[in-house]
Amino acid sequence: MNGRVRTGWIAGLVVGAAGGFLALEFPTLGWLILVLFAIGAVISGPRAGAIGGLGTGIGAGWLVLFGRVAVTCREEPGCQAQGIEMWVAVGAGTLAIGLALTVVAYVRACRRRRDPISLPS
């Protein structure tokens, strides 16, 4: 991956993790940050890397938070977290989409350099 794609992906990952958490705690602020980053990424590029990082950050953050609640709630009597499995699935789906876009960005970056695609060892 070249420098611009990598930088966009890392920025998307950080904003996605922070914005995903904020979207759960302070929805207006969190979603505003996520939407503004996505708009900026689409306008400035590289799109796939930045949006892939954003989706990976949101999905990983939600999967960790909701997964932790689901696991903890099973062990405690009287826990009130019914239906959280749907949100775990949303986090996993968002993570999968983010990782898929990350792979697309990686393949595109490798093709631009005209190097064979090889995984780092």
| Structural domain spans, the chain | 3-113
In the prediction, which pLDDT does 102 show? 92
Which pLDDT score, from 0 to 100, does residue 119 have? Answer: 56
Q: Is the pLDDT of residue 79 over 70?
A: yes
Whether the predicted pLDDT of 27 surpasses 70: yes
SS (H, E, C) 63-115: HHHHHHHHHHHHHCCCCCCCCCHHHHHHHHHHHHHHHHHHHHHHHHHHHHHCC
Q: What pTM, to 2 d.p., does this model score?
A: 0.83
Residue of 56 and 116 predicted with greater confidence:
56
Say whether pLDDT at 39 is over 70. yes
